[in-house]
Amino acid sequence: MQEAIPLNWRKYPERYRLEGTHCEECGQDFYPKKNICPNCRRKGKLEDKQMPREGKIISYSKVKASHKDFKDETPYYVALIELKNGVTIFSQVVDSLDNEVEIGAEVEKVFRKLNDKKYGVIAYSHKFRVKK
């Protein structure tokens, strides 16, 4: 059964709004969302939190051979990105030249097409690009 588009958007706030969680007890941020704070366990009180839209590359790789769904995009970069709040995420790096993608490069979140394979509905997600 095909999902309604608005439902798809509501189901994935971490994908569309880069939303994670924050523990009020220990002050730690998490992405993706957690149901229980790994530090405080049951004592922790988690609340939804928008993650920073900027960070820096701490590791990266250039993908030259990929899954068939992404063959038209190769080569492309993927990176571990440390956001301004210390949370580390894995993301594709887009709209950047080869000499710009490097460890320590400042990046910013952008919203890009992920795919359009399922039901013909275009799925979007966050990706990052090197700040100019």
Quickly tell me which residue has 């798809």 as its tokens. Answer: 8
Q: Could you give the percent of the chain with pLDDT greater than 70?
A: 82
Contact 93, 80 (CB under 8 A): no
Mean pLDDT throughout 14-21?
A: 79
Helices (H), 3-87: 5-11, 13-17
- Residue 125 to residue 77: CA distance in whole angstroms: 16
- Spell out the domain ranges in the chain: 14-51, 52-132
User: Residue 73: its pLDDT value, please?
Assistant: 81
Contact 70, 117 (CB under 8 A): no
Q: Which CATH class is domain 52-132?
A: mainly beta
Mean pLDDT throughout 57-70?
A: 90
- Residue 96 to residue 128: CA distance in whole angstroms: 9
* Chain segment 92-121, per-residue pLDDT in tens: 999 988 899 999 999 999 988 776 665 667
Provide the mean pLDDT of the chain: 86
Residue 1: pLDDT band (50, 70, 90) is very low
* Chain segment 65-79, per-residue pLDDT in tens: 988 877 888 899 999
Beta pairing, strands 88-93 & 46-50? unpaired
Could you write out the DSSP letters of every residue in 23-63? Answer: ETTT--EESS--SSBTTTBTT--EEEEEPPSEEEEEEEEEE
Quickly tell me which residue has 């002050």 as its tokens. Answer: 27
Does position 16 have pLDDT exceeding 80, yes or no?
no
